[in-house]
Amino acid sequence: MSPLNRQTDEPTNEERADRIDTVMQAYCLTLEGRDFDGDEDDVKDLLTDLMHFCERMEIDFEENLRVARNNYEHERNAEQGDTGQLGCPVCGCCLEVTRTDTLLGIDLELYNCQECEETFIRELNASDSPLQRAVKCVGCGSMIPQASARILYQRDDYAHFIGECCWDERLRD
């Protein structure tokens, strides 16, 4: 068991896999009334049905799959003793990947700090992309790097930001 799992109440990767074994057993019983025997076709069928379910529930399957891949890599690395986590530039605690997004054709990874509640962003396309503080664009609601945002309105210590994504539209209005 990794040091990370001893310090938290997070399940081990073996426990995570056991949970899915239970799900696969139930899924195969529903399909054909049989036990799951490790058949890859059953996994493909489950994923296909999950995609249909997400479409019906208006859940973005691809977005959740990207986040799941990131979580999977983090959990594998953590169990091997390498958290690979980024530290929060504000308070120093570990940042948690919350989602990936695409803005103006650039894939972005969004991080939240559980301690100071700041949000950070970095590009996925470049391996040396810096971690930047993120703000919400008032035009479209997307998270954008604060350094590239413009202040639309500011009062005391509170500011409303607008990004390049909406700046031209705002000028026309």
CB within 8 A of 105, min separation 6: which ones?
Answer: none
Percent of the chain at pLDDT > 90 equals: 23
Residue type, 93: C
Q: What is the mean pLDDT of the chain?
A: 82
pTM of whole model > 0.95?
no
The confidence score (pLDDT) of residue 82 equals: 67
Q: Is the pLDDT of residue 6 over 50?
A: no
| pLDDT band, residue 2 (cuts 50/70/90) | very low
- The highest-confidence range among 53-57, 61-65, 166-170, by mean pLDDT, is 53-57
In three state form, how does the secondary structure of the chain look?
Answer: CCHHHHHCCCCCHHHHHHHHHHHHHHHHHHHHCCCCCCCHHHHHHHHHHHHHHHHHHCCCHHHHHHHHHHHHHHHHHHHCCCCCCCECCCCCCEEEEEEEEEECCEEEEEEEECCCCCEEEEECCCCCCCCEEEEEECCCCCEEEHHHCEEEEEECCEEEEECHHHHHHHHHC
For residue 3, pLDDT over 60 is answered with no
Q: Given this model, what pLDDT does residue 169 score?
A: 58
Please compute the mean of the pLDDT values over residues 29-37 and round it to a whole number.
88
Average of per-residue pLDDT across 102-119: 81
Work out the average pLDDT over 59-64: 88
**CA atoms 123, 124, 126, 131: torsion sign:** positive
- Chain length of the chain: 173
Task: Give yes or no for residue 46 having a pLDDT over 50.
Answer: yes
User: Does residue 121 carry a pLDDT above 80?
Assistant: yes
pLDDT of residue 81 exceeding 90 = no
Tokens linked to 154: 């500011």
Q: How far is CA 129 from CA 25, 101, 138, in A?
A: 42, 15, 25
